[in-house]
Amino acid sequence: MVSGHAAHENGVDVDIWFNLDPKPALPPEAREEVELPSMVLPDKSDIDRSRFGEGQVRLLRLAANDPRVDRIFVHPAIKRALCQGFGNAGDGDTGWLHRIRPWYGHDEHFHVRLSCPAGSPDCVGQPAVPPGDGCDASLDWWFTHPPAAAPTTPPPPRPPLPKACAALLSGE
């Protein structure tokens, strides 16, 4: 992906925007430059209730209940709102909250990590998500440990694509 999402090159990661408003048709080169609104307040303390609502909660629940999904990363304020039952998140079975994990930087989109497909020997899965719904002291940590400042040194060069991906892209 153009915007530095190296993790997406493994084929099991995808970002989904929270903004559900209709979007104009854009040429491919313009699609990486779309600015979408944050779903959390500017001070990052809570969700922005004028932007994040039941539609976003339904979308997260739908994605998290898909058996192919391993985990979903959202901003910690979004995870906390879900744990508090915002947008009917607490209605019915709440087992889906187990897959919703807090991670900084996921305030205008959520990051879906799929499980490794069966029969994919080159796919390496992540360690299991800890037991429970994540609505405990582990969530509180995110509000007492602010994210580190952005590094001042440039990021290291991207590693080469795995051979299977390079072959696919080259048409071999």
Q: How many CA atoms lie within 13 A of 61 on its CB side?
A: 19
66-124 pLDDT, tens digit per residue, is: 999 999 999 999 999 999 999 999 999 999 999 999 999 899 999 999 998 888 888 88
116-168 pLDDT, tens digit per residue, is: 888 888 888 889 999 999 999 999 999 998 777 766 767 667 667 677 767 77
pTM: 0.81
pLDDT at 35: 81
51 pLDDT higher than 90: yes
Question: Residue 73 — φ and ψ, nearest 5°?
Answer: -100, 130
CA 54 to CA 137: how far, in whole Å? 25
pLDDT at 2: 43
Q: Residue 87's CB: how many other CB atoms inside 10 A?
A: 20
Q: Token pair of 46, please?
A: 């809570």
CA 101 to CA 139: how far, in whole Å? 9
Residues in the chain: 172
pLDDT at 121: 83
What strand order describes the sheet that includes 13-17?
13-17, 109-114, 69-74, 100-102
Better pLDDT: 36 or 55: 55
pLDDT at 1: 38
